[in-house]
Amino acid sequence: MAGRALPTSAVILAAGKGTRMHSSRPKVLHQVGGKPLLAWVLRAAREAGCQHLFVVVGHGADEVRAELGAEDVTWVEQNDQLGTGHALAQVERHLEGPAMLLVLSGDVPLVSSTTLVDLVDLANRGWGAMAVAELPDPGSLGRVVTGANSNLERIVEALDATAEESAIKWVNAGLYALPAPEIFAHLADLETDNAKGEFYLTDALTAAAAAGREVALFTLPDSSEAWGVNDRRDLARIQQEVLRRKTDQLMAAGVTILDPGVTTVEWDVEIGTDTVIHPQVSLSGSTRIGSGCVLNQGVWIRDSTLGDNVSVEPYSVLDGAEASDSCRIGPFARLRPGAVLLAGARVGNFVEVKNSRLGEGVKANHLAYLGDTTVGAESNVGAGVVTCNYDGQAKHHTEIGRNVFIGSDTMLVAPVEVGDDAVTAAGSVVNKDVPPGALAIERTEQRNILGWAKRRIAWRKNKKNT
């Protein structure tokens, strides 16, 4: 049969309550791989080249729109969630002419764009098409009964199925290509005489098939594309699958992952070749890691950028930080938002850095807090140094020049500036600017009281005897 060439629009059904999630959040905002379920479906639809995207929202609509508001879509309201058939029917008034509707479920995130293109092609060769898969454990998914011509005969929802129908392993993935306006006529005839008391979209397909429409079955190339999220176990299973795909991709591209089963890498994270990732590392958000880095056990990184050959020692936490080539971080370091380390800088154990720029080769190796601070190249920050950046009301800046030596336990009371090549004496509280090359020393002079220890012993003995 000659193919039709209807314009394709995607409709994503995302209004349902998701009762079995037992959540205060809309189901489609739950995340896998660091992104909401709905964002996965939207991305696949866009990559499939859909001209127009409709998203049907209802339960938690404001939250959904707020979280995905940047997306260029038409939001369609389904004020009462009366079922998937009712959800699709809400789109009718927004359509301007005949179209092939790629109808997707907002809770079926692993569908690929190539599948969607193939599904539309198949539908254009006949009347409509739907994606099916054979699953060993079909659970709550609708069962597909095939007719003599290997097209759809009917779909039976799990809750409405007889024992015999429940045993069918072929499931409805909730992904369809259906022609408009024809599908709306079938939706208009829907009844709610089923276990959920809802208008089932699946009943409209069954009715179309009964009316002699060819609904072709498209077998998904990878059955995980059919996995839907109806409860938290479904969510965990898909999360595991996304993680497996991500770590597989990274390893194929030249990243060493010592134990992929205990490594978490969100989908959008990028990692360069020859980087080695030890167990229990977690990488999330927009994190980008360069080549030849080593991320040791227990490292946690979010929304951060590392250059090449950076070594992050065990149990360090980086959030919104940047580190250039050959930096060394940790163990037990904490880099907070706005921490910027230039090439070769070192931040050691129990050092916290926030909104601060550490120049090339800077060392802050032990037990320090650097907040709202700039440190010039090659300067050394001693153990126990604190930039006292907060006066209880406002934050203030500390400026440390190049090649400066900040002695251990110096308190730098901001706003304060320490010039190039200057030194601060250990234990000093520095609240005045230090000129370049100067020594700032602020502490009482040491007294040595000779013979004092012996006298103390004698005094104690004496006290006991009286």
Helix or strand (DSSP H, E) at 116: helix 113-125
Q: Between β-strands 143-146 and 152-156, what pairing exists: parallel, antiparallel or unpaired?
A: antiparallel
- Pick from 10, 11, 50, 56 the residue near ligand UD1 by CB under 6 A: 56
Residue environment code for 222-251, b if the CB has 16+ CB neighbours within 10 A, otherwise e: ebbbbbbbbbeebbeebbebbbeebbeebe
Cα end-to-end span (Å), the chain = 116
E-assigned strand segments in 91-136: 99-105, 128-134
The least CB distance from residue 85 to Mg ion, in Å, is 14
Structural contact between residues 422 and 439, judged by C-beta atoms closer than 8 angstroms: yes
The 10 Å Cβ neighbour count of residue 463 is 8
The distance of Cα 447 from the centroid of its chain, to the nearest Å, equals 59
Q: Decide if residue 228 touches Mg ion (CB under 5 A).
A: yes
Q: Which does 87 bind (CB under 5 to 8 A by kind): ligand UD1, Mg ion, none?
A: ligand UD1
Cβ distance to ligand UD1 smaller for residue 140 or 240:
140
Q: Which position has the token pair 């979280």?
A: 67
Q: By rule CB under 6 A, what string of x and - marks binding of each residue 77-96 to ligand UD1?
A: -x--xxxx-xx---------
Q: Which does 202 bind (CB under 5 to 8 A by kind): Mg ion, ligand UD1, none?
A: ligand UD1
Cβ distance to Mg ion smaller for residue 228 or 359:
228
Q: Given CA atoms 151, 153, 159, 162 in this order, what sign does their dihedral have? A: negative
| Max Cα–Cα distance, the chain, nearest Å | 116
Say how many CA atoms lie within 13 Å of 126 toward its Cβ: 20
Cβ distance to Mg ion smaller for residue 83 or 348:
83
The pair phi, psi for residue 457, each rounded to 5°, is: -65, -45
- Pick from 124, 230, 264, 326 the residue near Mg ion by CB under 5 A: 230
Cβ distance to Mg ion smaller for residue 31 or 230:
230
What is the C-alpha separation between 106 and 68, in angstroms, rounded?
13
Site for Mg ion in 390-429 (CB under 5 A): none
Site for ligand UD1 in 226-285 (CB under 6 A): 228, 230
Cβ distance to ligand UD1 smaller for residue 230 or 379:
230
- Pick from 102, 141, 187, 306 the residue near ligand UD1 by CB under 6 A: 141
Helix or strand (DSSP H, E) at 458: helix 452-465
Three-state DSSP state, 218: strand
Cβ distance to Mg ion smaller for residue 33 or 228:
228
Size of interface with Mg ion, in residues (CB under 5 A): 3
What is the C-alpha separation between 58 and 88, in angstroms, rounded?
12
- Pick from 16, 33, 298, 371 the residue near ligand UD1 by CB under 6 A: 16
Q: By rule CB under 6 A, what string of x and - marks binding of each residue 167-186 to ligand UD1?
A: ----xxxx------------
Identify how many contiguous H helices and E strands the chain contains and give both numbers. 9, 41
Cβ distance to ligand UD1 smaller for residue 227 or 300:
227
- Quick one: tokens of 48? 């499939």
The pair phi, psi for residue 434, each rounded to 5°, is: -110, 120
The least CB distance from residue 99 to ligand UD1, in Å, is 19
Respond yes or no: is residue 366 known to be catalytic: yes
Cβ distance to ligand UD1 smaller for residue 56 or 339:
56
Choose one: 30-38, 101-109, 266-274, 353-361; the region binding Mg ion (CB under 5 A).
101-109
Q: By rule CB under 6 A, what string of x and - marks binding of each residue 97-136 to ligand UD1?
A: --------xxxx----------------------------
Choose one: 10-18, 44-52, 182-190, 377-385; the region binding ligand UD1 (CB under 6 A).
10-18
Q: Which does 401 bind (CB under 5 to 8 A by kind): Mg ion, ligand UD1, none?
A: none
Return the ∠ at Cα 211 (arms to 205 and 216), rounded to 5°: 50
Site for ligand UD1 in 190-229 (CB under 6 A): 200-202, 228
Structural contact between residues 322 and 339, judged by C-beta atoms closer than 8 angstroms: yes
Q: Decide if residue 60 touches ligand UD1 (CB under 6 A).
A: no
**Of 86, 366, 396, 397, which one is the catalytic site residue?**
366
Catalytic residue numbers read 366
Q: Return residues touching ligand UD1 (CB under 6 A).
A: 13-16, 28, 56, 78, 81-84, 86-87, 105-108, 140-142, 155, 157, 171-174, 200-202, 228, 230
Q: Return residues touching Mg ion (CB under 5 A).
A: 107, 228, 230
